[in-house]
Amino acid sequence: MSVRLDRTTLLVCTRCRIGDAAPEKPRAGARLFAETARAAAGSERVRVVGIACLSGCKRACAAALMAPGKVGYLFGDLPPDADGAADLVTAALAHARRPEGFLPRAERPERLRAGILARLPPPHWLEDEQQAVIA
Ligand code: FES
């Protein structure tokens, strides 16, 4: 199996609900997943995958960017519409282009600045036994 370093996987939670209202059908997460898949259709660099939960439930809708050897991101507070999907695909394309996947705050779409829940280093950064702090 070959690993593509120029492609980012965009994980979109399909089970997110917004607020305490009676469960909508389809769920907000499922709507965001469908819109995101539509927005990324035909892209060689972005693969959209639905996932049952990203543990960002209190900040729905949630989605994550991941790629081998790169920084990973978890975002929340995304609207389940075409605008939220477009922001995710824009960020995923930037993530795919960057060798280490860093997405500086100023270069992320507005909603993905305030809505960032986590930024995780790639595992290979943790292999240095002497390194006590990762910049
Ligand atoms: S249900 Fe969407 S993050 Fe948990």
Report pLDDT for 76: 97
> Mean pLDDT in the chain?
91
**How many angstroms separate the CA atoms of 8 and 44, rounded?**
9
- Tell whether ligand 1 has an atom less than 6 A from the beta carbon of residue 74: no
Domains and their CATH numbers in the chain: 8-126 (3.40.30.10)
Question: Which residue puts its alpha carbon closest to atom 1 of ligand 1?
Answer: 16
Whole-number pLDDT of residue 49? 98
92 pLDDT above the threshold of 80: yes
Q: How confident is the model at residue 93 (pLDDT cuts 50, 70, 90)?
A: very high
38 against 106, higher pLDDT: 38
Q: Residue 67, Cβ neighbours under 10 Å: how many?
A: 24
Between residues 125 and 46, the one the model is more confident about? 46
Summarised one tens digit per residue, pLDDT across range 3-19 is: 676 899 999 999 999 97
CA-closest candidate to residue 119, choices 75, 76, 77, 72: 72
Q: Is residue 27 in contact with ligand 1, taking CB distance under 6 Å?
A: no
Nearest C-alpha neighbor of 51 from the set 66, 69, 70: 66
Q: What is the amino acid identity at position 87?
A: D
pLDDT at 2: 65
pLDDT at 1: 59
Q: Which has the closest alpha carbon to 94: 117, 125, 73? A: 73
Residue 7 CA to ligand 1 center (angstroms) comes to 24
pTM of the model: 0.91
Determine the pLDDT at residue 135.
64
Return d(Cα 108, Cα 90) in angstroms, integer.
Answer: 8
Decide whether any atom of ligand 1 lies within 6 Å of the 28 Cβ: no
Give every strand in the sheet of 116-120, ordered side by side. 46-51, 8-13, 63-66, 72-75, 116-120
